[in-house]
Amino acid sequence: MISHSVVEPTISDFYSSYLSWNWPGWKLARQDGRTYFFPDGGAVQRPEQGALIAVQDASGNSLRLQRDSTGNLQRASSGFRWIQFKYDSHYRMTGAQENNGREFVYRYNTDGCLEEVEDADHHIAKYGHEGARCPTSMAIDGRPVWSAQFDESDRWRTQEPSDSHTL
């Protein structure tokens, strides 16, 4: 016996949005007036080369995302505020600087996993890893923040904040 089911659309922020070609790229417009802009992306070699390049709200306020030829985000700006990013030869972000001069540094372990983030006030967030998998723990200035457990297929199982409540 064949049965048929009716699938109802899930109403989301993108319900009734439309996608249109807007030379030299794509425009995704939502009903609330927010619009997302993407480059052409026809000959990309990395997903980042087709990533978001701007967002504009219904009032005309915009966030511009400037990318280099490899798709790495170089600068995010809105009005007179901006943040610039630096990368290493493996496309990993190594630094960020805000327009007010505040700088952030990102460091990686030998497996290429994010190991430390140092903020402008020299606070250090350290990430623990088991091999090359996703971070399994985080501590800020030596104080544990959370730890995570993964199953044998590297799927996330649990995450516990430092106050021992399981998420």
pLDDT tens-place string over residues 115-160: 999 999 999 999 998 766 778 899 999 999 988 888 888 788 888 8
CA 166 centroid distance within chain: 25
Report whether pLDDT(96) > 60.
yes
Are 140 and 125 a contacting pair, CB within 8 Å?
Answer: yes
Range in 34-43, 53-62, 128-137, 141-150 with the lowest mean pLDDT = 128-137
Task: Give how far Cα 86 sits from Cα of 40, 144, 158, Å.
Answer: 24, 28, 33
Residue 166 has pLDDT above 70, yes or no: no
Contact call for residues 30 and 37 (beta carbons, < 8 A): no
In sign, the C-alpha dihedral spanning 14, 66, 72, 96 is negative
Burial degree of 118 (CB within 10 A; 0-12, 13-18, 19+): middle
Q: What percent of the chain has pLDDT over 70?
A: 91
Q: Give Dmax (Cα) for the chain.
A: 68
Reported pTM? 0.78
